[in-house]
Structure 1
Amino acid sequence: MSEAVAIIPARGGSKGIARKNLQRVGGVPLVARAVDAARRCPAIDRVVVTTDDADIAAVAAEWGAEIIERPAELSGDQASSEGALLHALDTLEARKVDVGVLAFLQATSPFIDVDALTAAVQLVRSRRRDSVFSAVETYGFLWEKGLGDAAEPINHEIDVRPRRQDREPHYLETGGFYVMRAAGFRAARHRFFGSVGIAEVAPRTAIEIDTPDEMELARRLAPLADRDSRGDRAVAVDAVVTDFDGVHTDDTVRVDQNGLESVTVSRSDGMGVSLLRAAGIPFLILSTEANPVVAARARKLGVDVRQAAADKAAVLREWAEDHGIPLSRIAYLGNDVNDLACLELVGWPVAVPEAHPLVLSAARVVLDSRGGDGAVRDLAERVLAARPSAAAPAPHEAERPGGRNPATDHPTAPLEAS
């Protein structure tokens, strides 16, 4: 039987936002969000990204897409999406792929409604519609500027103001997806042909990113939108890296009468690290400051530690290379602005709930537990939940669930930043 294939055009160039398709929303590059949505759609058999950019191709391939190299003549500012789609269909045909249904997804729509996409593919495959597009219902009164910029009504009479319940809705394209019969599209060379249907989506999914303001809005909406669309808690990674202050601690320091400092850590977090170690998952504590408390805690947990890291991102890259772990398979847990460079490197940027707003915006996951009060255990459980099986080992050394333990190794440098 012919396949339903999702094709995602993603150029490297962009006038409004530099490298737009690689910009992150909810901690995930835009092109990866589109690939992820298509792969979560049960009606889609194959996901393809057509691009002229090697970095976009690498990200898309990591997320499970097949790559088609887009020629330069179809990659400029004047190139049409239809041209890229037709080239992709020709390439797939040469690869002996029989495409029956084409789902055109736009990476600039970060919140694609997977249920609506599934219904649209089924509608086209059943031949009840030739083309279906995502749209949001609106009862708004629309206007345009006429002669001399005077306002003129479009979808209503100027002297009639019916109540909402007395009006028929209109539908606004969201740009999220267009589903069509592949043969009909190749004949028409346009996304709308034959019998056209509407796939209604929720207004919160309707944002399309073309400007920096729309990018910022999408980033603010991502935590709510992703929680609603995915709902699961699993974090699928091969390693965990964390900041120290504000993550293993509550970001406070106690100073005694002799000027000696101490912090408080959670035994529950210690158990979480033990579970990760038993599952063979590498763990690194990465701190900007050099402090005996951090070293002592790492020794207690039996994990790697890197301190005095002025360039945390560079140290993270080096550690990942040494362990042979792709950055896309690492979870980084942070809380403040000096974690942003690391959060932007990894596949799973994670934040504690009380983190700096910029960190929350960069995070793919915001934990339920606060720093110093179970945040590391929270992340550990999500990582283990993503693995095929995870036996619960005995606690490491003196760590055991419940209670809190003052880490009294006295530092010689302040613990104010990590």
Structure 2
Amino acid sequence: MLTEIACKSTTCPADKPRVRFADSGGLYLEVTPNGSKRWFWKYRFDGKEKRIAFGSYPDVKLKEARTARDDARKLHQQGIDPAQKRQLDRLENKRQADVTFEAVAREFHATKASGWSKQYGERWIERMEKDLFPWIGALPLATITAPMLLHALRRTEARGAKETAHTLRQTAGQVFRYGIATGRCERNPAPDLHGALAPLNVKHMAAVLDADSAGKLMRAIFDYEGQPSTRAALELSALLFQRPGNIRHMEWVEIDLDAALWTIPADKMKRTIYGKTNGRPHFVPLAPRAIQILKDLKPLTGHGKYVFPSLLTGERAMSENTIRTALRRMGYTNDEMTPHGFRAMARTIMVERLNMHPDVIEAQLAHGKSGPLGAAYDRAQFMEQRRQMMNEWADYLDKLRTGADVIPLRA
């Protein structure tokens, strides 16, 4: 039998591949010339000689190796193959690890991230890592109940991040639905929490929403004494009501003055990666006033890439704060008007004052159409209506600016 001192002093001659030092009951220490020492237990099962490893010495001491041998021997006496049992246990442990909330969430993220924008995918997993994985990440998906999920969300809510808590409830629901689809759980507890979180006081982007105020805004833009390109960007924001990012990144190559059309490439639109890659461009008809603004601006910026280049370098697009700062200089606070507010202004006044068809407006806003057609919706079918609408809108804004022919609000 071995002793602890003997285990420490065992060596293997350089001319031998290995040497085995027997203990008792089939346990032995295998030593190799490089100094490696490993415990093994030799046994017979179904008439075949087999062995099972118990780890390396000195990480596993002699006493621990003997205990492992005794445990394996008990399984053997019950007719269980210890080596096979260990393999099954490892597979079960791996299976258990694969069904935790964190494992399923990361698998879902890896599956879906290729179809998400880079920013959205990064933000999705960051929220999980910060606010859910520390509390429920290690739990098997099937064992997580609605109260357990709520307890985790309450921690986020407690630090004042109410909107994040609501977002996490939705993203957790995505994980559970994926878990159901892949056989890791049978139900989704997230919908059970509807109404359980503190309500959100949703604050919409500030915008001018009535005709009189819109007229004042257009007069303020007309009288703006800052950079000519900034003034042009302000007026085109009102005339075209596209997303602020699209306005800032407008390129001269996208503008066809003869056809009176601005073509925004699909990859610049607010869409999924698939939509950016495979979707259609977004077409923005240009009213005569918009064309005139662009013609006046071309001598100033037409030599470069962007219609509205950065005022500092001229090589990048206009800063996202330029239009916001201009609105402040004109006297509009962040609670009164924002760059994004031009879209809400057009949407509201067009419906309430000009009786424009909402579907035509939504097409021009590049809002995704709900329903079974989804992204396959052909927005080109409204092209003529959109061109007429953009002309009428430009004329109406000019009338509001001069204070003439303001159409009264419909009942």
TM-score bracket for this pair, using the shorter chain length: under 0.3
TM-score relative to the length of structure 1: 0.24
The structure richer in helix per residue is 2
TM-score relative to the length of structure 2: 0.24
